[in-house]
Amino acid sequence: MAVTLNSTGASHARSLINAGNYDDEAAWSFSVEDGDKLLGPSGDNWGAYSDMYLGEDTSAAQKTKARWKYPFGKDGKVYGAALRSIRSRASQQGATAIFDEAGRLLDLIETKEGDNPADPEEKPASRSTIVPFARRRATAQASGYRVVRGAAGDSAEIYLYGQIGGGGFFSDGTEITAAQFQKDLKALGPVKTIDVRINSEGGDVFDGKTIYTLLQQHPAKVTMHVDGLAASAASFIAMAGDVIEISESAFMMIHNAWSVAFGNAADMRKSADLLDAVDGTLVGVYAARTKTQPATVKQMMADETWMSGKEAVANGFADKMVPNMAVAASVRDPTKFRRLPAALRPNRAAAMARVAEMHALIR
């Protein structure tokens, strides 16, 4: 399967968004009936059908449903939830161009919504203190993601409190995307120090790798503060710090990358090869930062290793332990982890209710 970006579909999506024909609140589903509706009464309106897809499988016959991949809308609207799902699937399947385009379309939606805020009385924060960042819905957690410039203008504090990367069944629109992070980091200008505060269960490995690279290559001195939890992709981001501090009651977790694969046997093998390659990259970064043998790190990842603050320092994943922050570690979906520590399970009932809710939406 050779899936490439469907530029015509991408252009159509932009036209719909610019015209205000988008929905960034509703859940997303796309059925066989939805596809048939696009084809029209005669079942042969392939132009309208292909216009609602971001991907094109050039190995399939042109006038077949198999040729078009990654639907982003229906009934004349682009769905934000569809674009986030596309980013999740595209990242898992190595479809970089489609992943990037879905991100640009989400940015366009955010720009349009920024031009027309839901609350006309709401005044934007001063640009001298808070760098603009992705709009959070009313349902978002109050802490979330924010980038704050110091009063003197030569320092910044970044809060990574939430899921890394957008998309997937558990998306609620509050995720921290690499695209938005890059914009916010650039908007800070030539700061000398950056303090990054982390409380995240992780998320998309490719967004995490991009955020890691942006911080690692930044000329400022970067200090990481693990306030509650740095798991999965968030633990990888933490390795970009010149100094890594972790609260006494905080946790860090490393594990092998995982994904959901769709398709035939060849697709499954390709997905497995991609996961192996990603794991190899992660092993290299963890091993270099912690001065630990790669074989040891590889086994720790395979075991899904959780570390308390003290254990993270002992294993080289943090430089020093600091007094506790008044931040509760957040795990939205405990079913993702095999060895979740007891200290992170109090909210399991609420998290499981959320899992059940999201599963109901995709049935």
More confident residue, 184 or 118: 184
pLDDT band at 332 (very low <50, low <70, confident <90, very high): low
More confident residue, 361 or 279: 279
Q: How far apart are CA 234 and CA 165, in angstroms?
A: 10
Report pLDDT for 293: 95
- Is 161 in a helix, a strand, or coil? strand
Percent of the chain with pLDDT strictly greater than 70: 76
Q: How far apart are CA 208 and CA 182, in angstroms?
A: 12
Q: Looking at 16-20, 104-108, 135-139, 219-223, which range is the least confident one?
A: 135-139
> Any alpha helices (H) in the chain, and if so which ranges?
7-18, 32-39, 46-50, 80-93, 96-115, 178-188, 205-216, 233-238, 265-290, 294-302, 309-314, 348-362
If you average pLDDT over residues 120-140, what whole number do you get? 34
pLDDT at 116 exceeding the cut of 80: no
If you average pLDDT over residues 235-264, what whole number do you get? 87
Question: Could you give the residue range(s) of every CATH 3.90.226.10 domain in the chain?
Answer: 145-255+304-362
pLDDT at 182 exceeding the cut of 80: yes
Report pLDDT for 230: 93
pLDDT tens, position by position, 279-312: 888 999 999 999 999 999 999 999 899 999 999 9
Percent of the chain with pLDDT strictly greater than 90: 44
Which two three-digit tokens encode residue 169? 């069944």
Q: Looking at 24-28, 119-123, 348-352, which range is the least confident one?
A: 119-123
pLDDT band at 330 (very low <50, low <70, confident <90, very high): low
If you average pLDDT over residues 88-110, what whole number do you get? 83
Report pLDDT for 64: 93
If you average pLDDT over residues 25-45, what whole number do you get? 90
DSSP character for 167? -
Report pLDDT for 2: 74
pLDDT tens, position by position, 62-97: 899 999 999 999 999 999 889 988 887 776 677 888
pLDDT band at 118 (very low <50, low <70, confident <90, very high): very low
- Is 116 in a helix, a strand, or coil? coil
More confident residue, 329 or 8: 8
Mean pLDDT of the chain: 80
pLDDT at 362 exceeding the cut of 50: no
Report pLDDT for 22: 94
Nearest to 93 by CA among 336, 266, 282, 262: 262
Report pLDDT for 307: 93
Q: Looking at 31-35, 172-176, 221-225, which range is the least confident one?
A: 172-176
Q: Sign of the CA dihedral 33, 38, 39, 41?
A: positive
Q: Which fold has domain 145-255+304-362?
A: 2-enoyl-CoA Hydratase; Chain A, domain 1 (3.90.226)
pLDDT band at 339 (very low <50, low <70, confident <90, very high): low
pLDDT at 211 exceeding the cut of 90: yes
pLDDT band at 139 (very low <50, low <70, confident <90, very high): very low
Report pLDDT for 130: 36
CA 283 → CA 17, 206, 337, 349, distances in Å?
Answer: 41, 15, 19, 33
More confident residue, 347 or 86: 86
Q: How far apart are CA 126 and CA 174, in angstroms?
A: 21
- Is 59 in a helix, a strand, or coil? coil
